[in-house]
A and B are shown apart, each in its own frame.
Chain A
Amino acid sequence: MVLIRRITRLALLLIVIGGTAILAAQQAPPALVTTQEISEGLPKDGSRWITFGGSYTNQRHSPLTQITPANVKGLVPQWTFQTGTLGNFETTPLFRDNILYVTGPQNVAWALDARTGRQIWRYRRELPSDLTACCGLVNRGFAMLGDKLFMVTLDAHLLALDMRTGTIVWDATLEQYKNGYASTIAPIVVKDKVIVGAAGGEFGIRGFIDAYDAQTGKRAWRFYTIPGPGEPGNETWAGDSWKTGGAGVWVTGAYDPDLNLLYYGIGNPGPDYHSESRLGDNLYAASLVALDADTGKIRWHYQFTPHDVHDWDSTEVPILADLTIAGQPRKVVMFANRNGFYYTLDRTNGRIIMAKPFVQTTWAREIGRDGRPVLEAGHTPDENGEITCPDITGGTNFWPPTFDPSTRTFFVNAREACMTFYSWKPDYKAGERFTGGAGQRYKSATMPVYGALRAIDPTTGERKWEFKYLNPSTSGLLTTASGLIFSGDNDGNVLALDSRKGTLLWRYQMGANLHGTSATTYMVDGRQHVLVPAGTTLTAWALPQGQ
């Protein structure tokens, strides 16, 4: 009898242990990150953030609704993480299974406990002292697949790190940094490949987009953003100018699994400002390209700014959506360009559906029916200078926009600014800056300098509302299904607004501005968190426990 009771107890205990284990297993996601999980992105499960734009569409629109316009004022900080590193965040942190994976300046990276902000591991790359990165020793984030994280480096490598320890699994060289190459882009994983690009448009590089095998680090394909001799488009570069034409790739693109196409914005042609050094349209600089994700072959391109002479990289973040336009379902890619125009393109073929200025533009009157800008005279820089709007930084830039599919609204932090552009003939020397000019901010009564968060109807280009800033903002954007939009101004305030009306609902002075990236959101233990990288700190916010 005693034996039977003992056996019964043991059985019960095993059932309890087993049940607990099953429950734990059910609550924890699979140990390995899958391509299906990435492909499903935020629309399927807003509790995590596992790829740069939240999903392949780059919509940065979270389905989470715990934090609302009515309660956002109650947000309280949960923790702040300090990098202890010189330089500022431009990263989109990834979040999965209660852990944050964060890249920082100078190629330092961390895994953090998202409950407390405490470090689990830290990775730091030994960088050479003679880097050529033009615009800050920054990094824009990880990609993840399986048990690996992928991160590019300022000396133009791609690393795979062990997600649990931060140690290097493999290290692939993209190009020689001494020749002007660097990399700052957040990779994305598509199927079994890691997609990256090289920066260096100010250093006479020949830009490219690469795909690497996620398991081995072996290069699967390369797409040169400047066609070589014999390839279509090479004739758009006079003489040998294609060899040093720049066209870097430093901002993450989008991916359409149904069409199996990658969409990447391409940087400026080089030398940036000197027209005569590279006569022609200069393909595929200042363009959006659609590439076959398996082969890297180009399917179509659209050049926003043929023969750009104002440093208007088209390295803004493309957003994909399916819209009904004029009664027809359309697969579109939305793009607010540094040149001051907003575009809605058919993403199956690259044809323009709609294009309209979203800031003051003096260089082009409109986008013609042939898709080319209708130019205004007098906007080629020379030694005496010419005034053009937008300025070098552009109507917007690499900070991510967002799209709310429920209201069909595209949001962008826009800049109103003009500049006197100067140009002169430069000499090319490998690894040295090769711009052939510079610019000086121009301000007048008719050309004031300010910024605004603008809500745009992507079917018409009409502005639904705007929220003005004192100074142009360089913050990315996040929307949520509850009707919120998170932004930041250039004075260090992080802001939450009603995404339908543009009214300000909440703010906090961070002491540094959200720059080049946005807030992200995810769930920790049933509570929605909002994460803000600003300056050298990462701060997580949530509503108080029990609300």
Chain B
Amino acid sequence: MTWRALCVVAGWFIVSSAWTNAQAPAARNPLEGDATAIRSGMGLFRARCADCHGMDARGVRGPDITQIWASGRTDDGLFTTIKNGIAGTEMPAQPRLFEHETWQILAYLKTLAASTRSDPQRGNAENGKKVYQANCVGCHRVNGAGGRLGPDLSRIGAARSREVLELRIRGGVEGFLPGYEPVTVTPQSGTAVVGVKKNEDLFSVQIMDTRERIQGYDKASLKEMQDNPRSAMPPFGSNRISESELDDLIRYLQTLRGFDPSVIQ
């Protein structure tokens, strides 16, 4: 790990106090429009951000970030997001990134920025929530409710582009997030246990099974351990979720931007 995912996720939930250094970043990027900085920023972006956000910054596993300024983000807010990452997401902090390097990345990103939001806002989120409840809630969790076998989706709207969500639901993506690789273990005595891998080393594996029981196994005590090539999540073709239902579902997922677990007394 982990230069994989640097850059920027919609960070409206980042509070300014997260900037832990003594000084706050400049309100505006001091390197904006600087040709040398843009060139360096391109290299930094490609090496450290593009794996998640795409070479064109239009999103792969991470979201499309060509519209972040159009969505109302500010230079200093984005600087803070890059520097500190976003807790609870795949967006890591970058403690070793120098201040000028962070500005270089943003200077380059600005050259890719769209002036207005181009993402079509189609679909009905209210209907989408119903589609979600009918098809997804058994394995996924949103705002503290739902299954645990699949990734928590409470922030999925800030973490994935529409295209990636669509591909995932339709079954067009077969990559596994760490902690969700499907596996079947068969103890010497007993039946096969199907689940997802939470951790593994040479000698042991820790899994969550389909009943959400978490358990570790000594590999030497197993009859067999088999990595499953296909995701535990079935593909949802148009026979299961229609095109309009898919629009609704994605619209609903796009509203999921974080979960505040604090208890108000």
Chain A contact residues, CB within 8 Å of chain B: 383-385, 420, 422-427, 432-433, 437-441, 469-470, 489, 491-493, 507, 509
A470 and B200 contacting across the interface, CB-CB below 8 Å: yes
Flag whether B32 is at the interface (Cβ < 8 A). no
Q: A433-B98, A440-B48, A440-B50 are in contact. Are A383 and B202 (CB under 8 A)?
A: no
Q: Which residues of A contact B36 (CB under 8 A)?
A: 425, 427
22 contacts between A and B (CB under 8 A): A383-B39, A383-B42, A422-B43, A423-B43, A424-B42, A425-B36, A427-B36, A438-B3, A438-B47, A438-B48, A439-B3, A440-B47, A440-B48, A470-B201, A470-B202, A489-B202, A491-B200, A491-B202, A493-B201, A493-B202, A493-B203, A509-B201
Q: A432-B98, A433-B98, A441-B4 are in contact. Are A385 and B46 (CB under 8 A)?
A: yes
Q: Nearest chain-B residue to A420 (Cβ)?
A: B47
Flag whether B40 is at the interface (Cβ < 8 A). yes
Q: Which residues of B contact A432 (CB under 8 A)?
A: 98, 100
Our pick among A423, A433, A440, A489 for the contact of B4 (Cβ within 8 Å) is: A440
Flag whether B152 is at the interface (Cβ < 8 A). no
Flag whether B90 is at the interface (Cβ < 8 A). no
C-alpha spacing A384/B4, complex, angstroms: 17
- List of 10 A-B pairs having minimum Cβ-Cβ separation, nearest first: A438-B47, A491-B201, A424-B43, A422-B47, A422-B43, A440-B47, A422-B46, A424-B40, A424-B39, A383-B43
Our pick among A427, A437, A489, A492 for the contact of B43 (Cβ within 8 Å) is: A437
Q: Which residues of A contact B50 (CB under 8 A)?
A: 440
C-alpha spacing A422/B44, complex, angstroms: 8
B3 and A440 contacting across the interface, CB-CB below 8 Å: yes
Q: Nearest chain-A residue to B40 (Cβ)?
A: A424
Q: Which residues of A contact B203 (CB under 8 A)?
A: 493, 507
C-alpha spacing A439/B47, complex, angstroms: 5
Q: Which residues of A contact B3 (CB under 8 A)?
A: 438-441
Flag whether B51 is at the interface (Cβ < 8 A). yes
Q: Nearest chain-A residue to B41 (Cβ)?
A: A424
C-alpha spacing A515/B101, complex, angstroms: 29
C-alpha spacing A507/B202, complex, angstroms: 10
Q: Which residues of A contact B51 (CB under 8 A)?
A: 440
Q: Which residues of A contact B40 (CB under 8 A)?
A: 424-426
**New A-B pairs, 9, CB < 8 Å, besides A385-B47, A509-B201:** A420-B47, A422-B47, A424-B42, A425-B36, A425-B39, A438-B3, A438-B48, A441-B4, A493-B203
Which residues of chain B (32-84) have a CB below 8 Å from chain A?
Answer: 36, 39-40, 42-44, 46-48, 50-51
Name the distance in Å between A6's Cβ and chain B's nearest Cβ: 70
Q: A427-B36, A437-B47 are in contact. Are A492 and B201 (CB under 8 A)?
A: yes
Q: Which residues of B contact A438 (CB under 8 A)?
A: 3, 43-44, 47-48
Name the distance in Å between B50's Cβ and chain A's nearest Cβ: 7
Q: Which residues of A contact B44 (CB under 8 A)?
A: 438
Q: Which residues of B contact A424 (CB under 8 A)?
A: 39-40, 42-43
Q: Which residues of A contact B101 (CB under 8 A)?
A: 433
Q: Which residues of B contact A440 (CB under 8 A)?
A: 3-4, 46-48, 50-51
Our pick among B42, B46, B100, B201 for the contact of A489 (Cβ within 8 Å) is: B201
Q: Nearest chain-A residue to B2 (Cβ)?
A: A441
C-alpha spacing A493/B200, complex, angstroms: 12
Q: Which residues of A contact B98 (CB under 8 A)?
A: 432-433
| Max count, chain A CB within 10 A of own CB: residue among B4, B42, B43 | B43
C-alpha spacing A507/B220, complex, angstroms: 13
Q: Nearest chain-A residue to B44 (Cβ)?
A: A438
C-alpha spacing A492/B200, complex, angstroms: 11
Q: Which residues of B contact A385 (CB under 8 A)?
A: 46-47
Q: Which residues of B contact A425 (CB under 8 A)?
A: 36, 39-40
Name the distance in Å between A136's Cβ and chain B's nearest Cβ: 10
Q: Which residues of B contact A509 (CB under 8 A)?
A: 201
Name the distance in Å between A472's Cβ and chain B's nearest Cβ: 12
Q: Which residues of B contact A492 (CB under 8 A)?
A: 201
C-alpha spacing A230/B202, complex, angstroms: 55
C-alpha spacing A520/B38, complex, angstroms: 49
Q: Which residues of B contact A423 (CB under 8 A)?
A: 43
Contact with A along B161-182 (1 / 0, CB 8 A): 0000000000000000000000
Contact with A along B80-119 (1 / 0, CB 8 A): 0000000000000000001011000000000000000000
C-alpha spacing A492/B199, complex, angstroms: 12
Name the distance in Å between B101's Cβ and chain A's nearest Cβ: 8
Q: Which residues of A contact B42 (CB under 8 A)?
A: 383, 424
Q: Which residues of A contact B201 (CB under 8 A)?
A: 470, 489, 491-493, 509
Name the distance in Å between A87's Cβ and chain B's nearest Cβ: 13
Q: Nearest chain-A residue to B50 (Cβ)?
A: A440
C-alpha spacing A384/B98, complex, angstroms: 22
Name the distance in Å between B208's Cβ and chain A's nearest Cβ: 19
Which residues of chain B (1-54) have a CB below 8 Å from chain A?
Answer: 3-4, 36, 39-40, 42-44, 46-48, 50-51
C-alpha spacing A507/B201, complex, angstroms: 12
| Max count, chain A CB within 10 A of own CB: residue among B39, B42, B47, B203 | B47
Q: Which residues of B contact A441 (CB under 8 A)?
A: 3-4
Q: Which residues of B contact A439 (CB under 8 A)?
A: 3, 47
| Max count, chain B CB within 10 A of own CB: residue among A384, A385, A438 | A438
Name the distance in Å between A128's Cβ and chain B's nearest Cβ: 15
Q: Which residues of A contact B100 (CB under 8 A)?
A: 432
Name the distance in Å between B55's Cβ and chain A's nearest Cβ: 9
Q: A422-B46, A439-B47 are in contact. Are A469 and B202 (CB under 8 A)?
A: yes
C-alpha spacing A469/B200, complex, angstroms: 12
A383 and B46 contacting across the interface, CB-CB below 8 Å: yes
Name the distance in Å between A511's Cβ and chain B's nearest Cβ: 11
C-alpha spacing A79/B54, complex, angstroms: 50
Name the distance in Å between B235's Cβ and chain A's nearest Cβ: 23
C-alpha spacing A422/B3, complex, angstroms: 13
C-alpha spacing A423/B47, complex, angstroms: 9
Which residues of chain B (202-217) have a CB below 8 Å from chain A?
Answer: 202-203
C-alpha spacing A383/B104, complex, angstroms: 14
C-alpha spacing A496/B77, complex, angstroms: 50
